[in-house]
Amino acid sequence: MEQYSAAEKIYELFSEKALALGIPEPVLVIAAYAIPCLVVINLIQGAAGMLTYAERKISADIQNRIGANRVGPFGLIQFLADGVKLFLKEDIIPDAADRKLFKLAPYIVLSSTVLAAIVVPFGGSFIVADLNIGLIFIIVVSSLLVVGFLMSGWASNNKWALLGGIRSAAQIISYEIPTALSLLCIVLITGTFSLQETVMSQGLWPWQWFIFHNPFSFVAFFIFFVSALAEMNRTPFDFPEAESELVSGYNVEYSGMRFSIFFIAEYGSIFIISGLAAAVFLGGGNIGLDPYESPLHMQLLMVGVFFAKTVPLCLVIIWVRWSMPRLRIDQMLTMCWKYFIPIAFACLVATAIWLLVFNGNGIFWRMPAP
Amino acid sequence: MNAIRNYMDNILKAVTSTAKGMGITLRYWALEPSITVEYPDRLGKGVTAEDLVSERFRGFLGFEPSVCIACLQCQRVCPTDCIKVGTEKRDEVRFITRFDVNQAKCMHCGLCVEECPTEALFFTKRYEGACFDMEGLCFSHVGEPVPAAKRKREDGGQE
């Protein structure tokens, strides 16, 4: 029997013993899915913490400063100290705020990040659920972010927050289109939306990756990367929280742990988007072996390969933030509607023609025999 | 045709200028050393906090009672009322009974130092004043009353 996810593997491992003990099957199924989900949530938390540290250190290096170096060796556990500080802060809810929406908004933003993590293949058989609509699922849940931002902006009853929320709606909805179109180029090549199968049809070596499949998928990678930056509100597209214009944007009224949930969601989505780019365009954790048949140490090696591709992409995202100034809002929308969408469409059509002409083969990549 | 050329030019410009900017930050990230000097890491081995600051640093106020003529100019000019001077006349000699500086209120504007005619009041380089009580920043520079110095111009100059 083919195994498509860590959850199914856990289910198979424990099903006989649990059913013998009289645990009903639905409980077992829920437990089998809950364990990897908890692992993924904690992975996102850890990744977000380490990314805040990386952000501080890299920004310091670029600006000839030193950065965090007091808590732990090289300041490595600075993010734990920050987390403790945020826990101890007073949780302020403004009188004029819509209390229910105000409390709900951070969780919606965080859940959009965590839901996206479900379908990201972390190498080997380590994937929570290998949905056969994986890429569509990621695009759908990442637009949940808009709901959270608009909700927090509206519920704060603050003009800056509302402006930030409305900007984020305009921005995320526009940039969803080039993101989806550039991912569609790869879907055309593989013929599947499943992320695990997308990874499995690539190889260990760079010329087997989909970024080098044809010239148009090379362009599509950059369009995907830049519009993903815009979709998760990173500088140079951080309009919803433009510090110099909107104080702090949609999260201006938040404090303490609620604020840090927004923060975790932001940095978690950096990790998820990098992981997605690594999996779809850069071969993910593929080392040329079958992820489900190979022994455990090879699977862990695949995880290592996946992280070796994801972490540099995260660092590039941080590097971009400290290089580029923020655009104007009209420049941002011009860039999306006049440049990214036409170019992404052109890439999609050109990839389709390429596949038709070369019978599904890339420059080096060969269609697997059916 | 012009519009198409403009469009392509814009794309090219965006790509090259982004690459150029990121190249500059990459150089700073990888090559340039950090020039920030962290203060507590350089103390010890004979180096004190006073040695780290420049010549004209405005630290805590210092007071030299032997040249003070008790003119009270410093107390009058202080915008935050952080200087309190007390004088007393005993046997035709003016004594300075107190000279208190509240460093917690001082904003280091330097007006008192400029005003002081005899340079009895000056800036030291001391700045490490962290303490658990605000009272710890109130300094009494005169314990026992000391006689004020003679004014230089006794011959009709402004008293």
Q: pLDDT confidence of A5, banded at 50, 70, 90?
A: low
Q: Identify the DSSP state of A368.
A: P
Which run of H or of E encompasses A108? helix A99-118
Domain assignment present for residue A290? The answer is yes
pLDDT tens by residue, A82-97: 888 888 888 888 888 8
Least confident of A265-269, A306-310, A366-370, B146-150: A366-370
Average pLDDT value for residue range B9-19? 90
Domain count, chain A: 1
Question: Predicted ipTM?
Answer: 0.74
Give chain B positions within 8 Å (CB) of A335: 14
Nearest CB to B25: which of A69, A323, A339? A323
Residue B16 has pLDDT above 90, yes or no: yes
Q: Identify the DSSP state of A95.
A: T
CATH classification of the domain holding B104: 3.30.70.3270
Quote the pLDDT of residue A341. Answer: 92
Domain assignment present for residue B31? The answer is no
**CB contact at 8 A, B84 and B76:** no
Q: pLDDT confidence of A360, banded at 50, 70, 90?
A: confident
Quote the pLDDT of residue A224. Answer: 92
Quote the pLDDT of residue A260. Answer: 87
**CB contact at 8 A, A182 and A221:** yes
Quote the pLDDT of residue B142. Answer: 84
The Cα diameter of chain B in Å comes to 101
**CB contact at 8 A, A263 and A97:** no
Least confident of A12-26, A84-98, A338-352: A12-26
What token pair was written down for A136? 């569509």
**CB contact at 8 A, A321 and A232:** no
Domain assignment present for residue B77? The answer is yes
Residue B60 has pLDDT above 80, yes or no: yes
Domain assignment present for residue A167? The answer is yes
Domain assignment present for residue A125? The answer is yes
- Mutation target for A interface from B11, B16, B25: give the one with most A CBs within 10 A: B25
Quote the pLDDT of residue B110. Answer: 87
- The upper half-sphere exposure of residue A268, i.e. CA atoms within 13 Å in the direction of its Cβ, equals 26
B28/A62 Cβ within 8 A: yes
Residue B156 has pLDDT above 60, yes or no: no
Domain assignment present for residue A275? The answer is yes
In chain A, the DSSP E strands lie at: none
pLDDT tens by residue, A185-194: 889 888 888 8
Q: Identify the DSSP state of A336.
A: I
Which run of H or of E encompasses A230? helix A215-231
Considering only CA atoms, give the Rg of chain B: 28
Average pLDDT value for residue range A253-271? 87
Domain with B71, as residue range(s), is: 54-147
| Per-window interface: A 298-337 vs B, CB < 8 A | 319-320, 322-324, 335
The Cα diameter of chain A in Å comes to 65
Domain assignment present for residue A178? The answer is yes
Residue A31 has pLDDT above 70, yes or no: yes
Domain assignment present for residue A41? The answer is no
Nearest-CA distance from B5 to chain A in Å?
14
A58/B34 Cβ within 8 A: no
Quote the pLDDT of residue B159. Answer: 45
Domain assignment present for residue A3? The answer is no
Who contacts A211 (Cβ-Cβ below 8 Å, separation ≥6)?
A: A217, A218, A221, A281, A282
Residue B102 has pLDDT above 70, yes or no: yes
Beta bridge pairs of residue B88: B95
Domain assignment present for residue B110? The answer is yes
Domain assignment present for residue B42? The answer is no
Quote the pLDDT of residue A1. Answer: 37
The pLDDT > 90 percentage for chain A reads: 9
What token pair was written down for A364? 């080096």
A63 in reach of chain B (CB within 8 A):
yes
Q: pLDDT confidence of B19, banded at 50, 70, 90?
A: very high
Give chain B positions within 8 Å (CB) of A324: 18, 21-22
Beta bridge pairs of residue B86: B98
CA distance A224 to A222: 5
Quote the pLDDT of residue B151. Answer: 72
3-state secondary structure of B89: strand
Domain with A174, as residue range(s), is: 96-357
Nearest-CA distance from A179 to chain B in Å?
18
Domain assignment present for residue B78? The answer is yes
Domain count, chain B: 1
Nearest-CA distance from A129 to chain B in Å?
37
Domain assignment present for residue B47? The answer is no
